[in-house]
Amino acid sequence: MFYKDVNTVNPVLEVKDLRARIDDKEVLRRVKLSLSPGEIKVLTGPNGSGKSTLARTIMGDERIEVVEGDILVDGESVKDLPPEERFRKGIFLSFQMPPEFEGIRIGEFLLRISGRSGPEAIREMKEIAKELGLDPSILMRELHRGLSGGERKRVELLQALFLKPKYVLLDEIDSGVDVESVELIAKKVKELVDGGSAVLFITHNPLSLKIFSDRPVLRMEGGRILENAG
């Protein structure tokens, strides 16, 4: 695992009474959430309800000001840590709209942030790419540059599968893709969880909601997480 292992009886990502704002607008209102390795929680809700904002706040987006509450990783507050430190502690965020990075090749990027090297790591990367329906040559492409929306989503999932983070936040990784891709994404997300990761799956895709109907489904409205939605 790439993250720093913390010796704790009950590893968990906790969001405790979190209030946050962007400029003068309150965007999160006393949000509570817990996520433990080996589980999937689905977060749904209308556009603008705060789903993506919550994920970005957990990851440490500097444009979002935490007014009150805390974010804990395995009992340790990360509220004041920069994104790269939260990443090292095991949090991974898949972006809803992955940005392009000029001059950074996908394979090189994954080796750099994972701290791995050598032919075994490269073989694993290529195998994951093939399992996701991607030509392994995509690893030589610049990160997200010139890729279709569906390819970007699969590259984001490739990162998670290769890095095997403890806490994975997937922000609408199933949006704008075909039915076959949604089913493949769901299969790979379940593999992540079976491998010990915890996943917060943010979606409003009806097929994904059906596939994960046996998992806890939370609904977000107006910056608040409501009771189980189904």
Q: Is residue 116 part of a domain?
A: yes
Q: Mean pLDDT across the stretch 100-113?
A: 93
Q: Is residue 62 part of a domain?
A: yes
Q: Is residue 7 part of a domain?
A: no
Q: Is residue 99 part of a domain?
A: yes
> For the segment 192-220, what is each residue's pLDDT rounded down to a tens digit?
999 999 999 999 999 999 999 999 999 99
Q: Is residue 35 part of a domain?
A: yes
What is the rounded CA–CA span in Å between residue 51 and residue 181? Answer: 22
Q: Is residue 40 part of a domain?
A: yes
pLDDT at 228: 54
pLDDT at 157: 95
CB 170 within 8 A of CB 202: yes
**Cα-flanking dihedrals φ and ψ of residue 135, to 5°?**
-70, 130
What is the rounded CA–CA span in Å between residue 148 and residue 63? Answer: 27
> For the segment 134-183, what is each residue's pLDDT rounded down to a tens digit?
999 999 999 989 988 889 899 999 999 999 999 999 999 999 888 999 99
What is the rounded CA–CA span in Å between residue 200 and residue 223? Answer: 16
Q: Is residue 22 part of a domain?
A: yes
pLDDT at 6: 43
Number of domains the chain contains: 1
Residue 174's CATH number: 3.40.50.300
CB contact set of 212 (below 8 Å; sequence gap of 6+): 40, 42, 186, 201
Question: By C-alpha distance, which of 43, 8, 10, 13 is closest to 166?
Answer: 13
Q: Is residue 93 part of a domain?
A: yes
Domain span holding position 138: 13-228
> For the segment 13-58, what is each residue's pLDDT rounded down to a tens digit?
999 999 999 999 999 999 999 999 999 999 999 999 999 999 999 9
Q: pTM (2 decimals)?
A: 0.91
